[in-house]
Structure 1
Amino acid sequence: MKNVVSLIIASAILIACSKVPITNRKQTNLLPESTLINMSEDQYAAFLAEAVVLPDSDPRAKKVKEVGEKIKAATESFLNSKGYQKRIEGFAWEFKTVKNDTTINAWCMPGGKVCVYTGILPLFESDDEMAVVMGHEIAHAIARHGNERMSQQMIINGVGSVLSPADTTQVSIFQKVFIGAGTLGMLKYSRDHESEADKLGLVFAKLAGYDPAAAITFWKKMAAQGGAGMPEIFSTHPSDERRIADLEEFLKEIDQYTE
């Protein structure tokens, strides 16, 4: 039985290999992206039903949606021009601001379901800083990092346990990947994704008309805060020094992707 499962996994890997836009990194996604998008819609709706969502008339919600829509338009235009249309197939973008002043975070589920907590808003000193953070979160969805993380967990748990969209195990893994912290064995993998999302996010932000160099000022500001009370959004990110150095290096070559 073990050999059969291994054969299934090996065959699936051969079929599911693709390349991430911009970085051209090869990745393996064992799940159809449509499955994750359908699950995202259900989980996002359930989350919003329990959350305090700011009305569209709230200035904070307006700003989040304004920046998000600009990044969405620029990202879709870029992907379409580069032949990556399938990366946004089935996307139904939503930008919601949730009132939670103690949670310093933002995220994007597969399919373009974006949430920004009010706790992170005071940290943005400009639209540019908001754009690089939102661009980063959107980049996770475009790069299909969630699919990769779930695929890794599928291999750990066994393919058969997560093939059915109605399987409670699959829902549990989904929640772990997109809502929880994941297993310790996946943290390094997640940090690699964070670095990749940084690069894609800078490109998307610049294409939308924002200054990608704002990422440097933002992360230097975050590094200055330091301490054990590091906001949740940074828990699996690279070290501040490494991240800033990598961002500065990528900014030197970003024009090749935006001109």
Structure 2
Amino acid sequence: MKKPFTLGMAALIMLGLSSCAESPTGRPQLMLFDQTQVNKMGIQTFEDLKAKTPVSKDKKTNQYVQCVAKQVLRVTPAKYQQNPWEIVVFDSDQVNAFALPGGKIGVYTGLLLVAENQHQLAAVIGHEIAHVMSGHSNERLSSNQAVQTTLGVADVALSAMDTRFKTELSTAFGLGAQVGVILPFSRVHESEADLIGLDLMAKAGFKPEESVKLWQNMAKQGSGGTPQILSSHPVPENRIKALQKNMPKADAEYQQRKATGGLPACNK
């Protein structure tokens, strides 16, 4: 039984040594893909979405979303401001938004019914931009690649074993990877993006305490019932606690920005 685990761990170690990086919060990351390639993938994904999803033509809605997004983008590191971002409002009931590598932001009109004001919308957009700043797409692709490589090595080892439990073991390895690696990675990304997004919205002049109200609104939209260990997102209660824990620092950033005057005034 030791052979598959030994080979799998060896594969992961080799992948880990190949390209290690660090997130904005100082968390070690596995990055196996060239960022230019990831950016191209983000751009292509965005073009596909625009081809399949109606784009809102409402002038006021577009101006509102553009206003909030641009205010948040102004406080991102310089390298994310070198090229203009494309910001599109999709006419859909989905309560969602996203940012993609390559400078793309999408906001669904359904979100604007839950994000009740400019501050709450800034919390969402800051969160999504934080995913890009943290290289989460590259990291997720890399972790999936590492898992597939390890499972492939384990499968080869299992195929050589003379055991009636071969199928059960193979299934167990796959489930273990899903629950033990892939889902927790996603929860780590979401939590990290929450905190970086909180910092961004505060620096941009949006009230950070509104991020808590946003996720309270989000919680009312969900059906609940999924254990966090099997969820790709932190449960609302946990992410709200994390935001509240970091609120003093965010509020200090907001007060510093407020002292300079000229706070955002994006009208919904």
Taking structure 1 as the reference length, the TM-score comes to 0.74
Q: 1:174-233 deviations in whole A, cap 9, x for unaligned?
A: xxxxxxxxx555122101110000000011111111111101111223334553599xxx
* Match of residue 67 from structure 2: 66
TM-superposed CA distance for 1:236, in Å, is: 2.8
Alignment partner of 2:205 out of 202, 209, 225 = 209
Q: Counterparts of 1:13 and 1:90 in 2: how far apart (Å)?
A: 31
Contact 1:145–1:193 (CA<8 Å) still a contact in 2? yes
Q: Counterparts of 1:190 and 1:43 in 2: how far apart (Å)?
A: 19
Structure 2 residue 118 is matched with structure 1 residue 127: yes
Contact 2:75–2:204 (CA<8 Å) still a contact in 1? yes
Q: Counterparts of 1:249 and 1:6 in 2: how far apart (Å)?
A: 36
* Match of residue 52 from structure 2: 50
Contact 1:92–1:111 (CA<8 Å) still a contact in 2? no
- Counterparts of 1:134-145 in structure 2, within 5 Å, are 134-145=125-136
Contact 2:96–2:110 (CA<8 Å) still a contact in 1? yes
- Counterparts of 1:176-215 in structure 2, within 5 Å, are 185-215=181-211
Structure 2 residue 147 is matched with structure 1 residue 156: yes
- The residue identity in structure 1 corresponding to 2:73 is K
Q: Give SS of 1:52's match.
A: coil
TM-superposed CA distance for 1:59, in Å, is: 1.3
Structure 2 residue 240 is matched with structure 1 residue 244: yes
- The residue identity in structure 2 corresponding to 1:158 is T
> Judging changes above 3 Å, is the alpha-carbon distance between structure 1 residues 256 and 209 closer, same or farther for their aligned structure 2 residues?
closer
TM-superposed CA distance for 1:112, in Å, is: 2.4
Q: Give SS of 1:211's match.
A: coil
Contact 2:16–2:30 (CA<8 Å) still a contact in 1? yes
TM-superposed CA distance for 1:39, in Å, is: 1.1
> Judging changes above 3 Å, is the alpha-carbon distance between structure 1 residues 5 and 256 closer, same or farther for their aligned structure 2 residues?
farther
User: Which one is further off, 213-222 or 137-146?
Assistant: 213-222
> Judging changes above 3 Å, is the alpha-carbon distance between structure 1 residues 114 and 32 closer, same or farther for their aligned structure 2 residues?
same
Q: Counterparts of 1:5 and 1:118 in 2: how far apart (Å)?
A: 45
Contact 1:37–1:91 (CA<8 Å) still a contact in 2? no
Q: Give SS of 1:148's match.
A: helix
The alignment covers a number of residue pairs equal to: 220
Indicate the structure (1 or 2) with the bigger Cα radius of gyration: 2
* Match of residue 24 from structure 1: 26
> Judging changes above 3 Å, is the alpha-carbon distance between structure 1 residues 44 and 66 closer, same or farther for their aligned structure 2 residues?
same
Q: Counterparts of 2:222 and 2:88 in 1: how far apart (Å)?
A: 28
User: Structure 1: any 5+ residue segments left out of the alignment?
Assistant: 162-182
Q: Counterparts of 2:10 and 2:56 in 1: how far apart (Å)?
A: 49
Q: Counterparts of 2:34 and 2:115 in 1: how far apart (Å)?
A: 36
Q: Percent identity at matched positions?
A: 31
Q: 1:101-136 deviations in whole A, cap 9, x for unaligned?
A: 2x1111111122111111111112210000001100
Structure 2 residue 87 is matched with structure 1 residue 95: yes
Q: Counterparts of 2:223 and 2:193 in 1: how far apart (Å)?
A: 24
Q: Give SS of 2:246's match.
A: helix
Q: Give SS of 1:54's match.
A: coil
Q: Which has the higher contact order (CA 8 A, sep 6+)?
A: 2
Q: Counterparts of 2:28 and 2:83 in 1: how far apart (Å)?
A: 22
Taking structure 2 as the reference length, the TM-score comes to 0.72
